[in-house]
Amino acid sequence: MHMRRWVLRLTIAYQGATYGDVRDAVCKWVSNYPEERHRAGALLVPVALREAWPCNG
């Protein structure tokens, strides 16, 4: 449950993204980069989200 709350807070930073969108983006990233699966989620999630929703600024 703790992780879910953390991900829900991240969702706010990505306007219009739902919990499911964030989950799908992270799962897709891990699927595309299986060699990175051993890394901590706290490192993988931000990388996956930046790739899914790149900063336009």
Which residue range forms the structural domain that includes residue 6?
A: 2-52
Q: Distance between CA 11 and CA 14 in Å, rounded?
A: 5
pLDDT tens figures, 2-45:
555 555 565 555 567 888 888 899 999 999 999 999 999 888 98
* Average of per-residue pLDDT across 40-53: 88
Higher pLDDT, residue 50 or 6: 50
- Token readout for 46 is 């931000």
User: At 54, is the pLDDT very low, low, confident or very high (cuts 50, 70, 90)?
Assistant: confident
2-16 residues labelled b (16+ CB within 10 A) or e (exposed): eeeeebeebbeeeee
Tell whether 35 is covered by a domain: yes
57 within a domain of the structure (yes/no): no
Quote the number of domains for the chain.
1
Assigned domain for 32 exists: yes
